Structure 1
């Protein structure tokens, strides 16, 4: 059925449920898994919401974010391995989360994207937008959204 599944994670409780479901699905279908965490770049200007920070400190902050993200996907790899699933743990740096997910799925020849819905409703949903919605409307492969 599926040969390679991309699972997006951000470390949230809802995302952890999506990871567990993706691992179970991969185990059932004999698929391999690509675990991906997208890390944003540190804002560079006040207009982007940044405080004045030295360039050296920005590199250090971004390195910490990347290391934390790598730990997250490495944990998915360990969990998958415990269930007999081959997992490739990846970290992508991008401010465009949905675009990075879709690009990674294409690059790694995935035939399914598994991700969590953040569960926002009403005005917050309109204000903040939805990476999940963007992936759903722009992906050329099936997307499984879990709550």
Structure 2
């Protein structure tokens, strides 16, 4: 049914759960997979009138190192499951995560997206936004959203 499954991952337990579930689906459907990590960097101060660009902070490289580690883990999971999978780190360049993922979905020609939803509500959702909700609005590709049963049962949002 599905031949190209995309899974956004960020290294969180929920994202890795979504990756494992997507691997199970890919195995059953003989589908190709791609795990995508969106690398977000801290904004820099730029003043063109003074020719000033704030230097990159060494901690900013942490995002790239995290992406490498998480994507290495995804490759290992693909190999253990004998799944044809690829990984991709995409720099957001200031775009929102949902915008970057929408482009990744198109680039990979995904016909299914499997992702974890943190299920934020109220002020947390307003401030952090909802990537899954944005993708529901901005793409026509089916989304399989997973939640941790403990979060649902306790009502953590």
TM-score (norm 2): 0.81
Choose 1 or 2 for highest CA Rg. Answer: 2
Aligned position for 1:4: 4
Aligned position for 1:77: 75
Unaligned runs of 5+ in 2: 47-52, 148-157
Q: Does 1:110 align with 2:110?
A: yes
Aligned position for 1:63: 61
TM-score (norm 1): 0.86
Aligned-pair CA distance for 1:143: 1.0
Q: Structure 1: how far apart are the matches of 2:138 and 2:83?
A: 28
Query: How many pairs were matched up?
Result: 139
Aligned-pair CA distance for 1:137: 1.0
The alignment's C-alpha RMSD in Å is: 1.8
Aligned-pair CA distance for 1:54: 5.2
Q: Out of 64-73 and 23-32, give the one that drifted further.
A: 64-73
Unaligned runs of 5+ in 1: 47-52
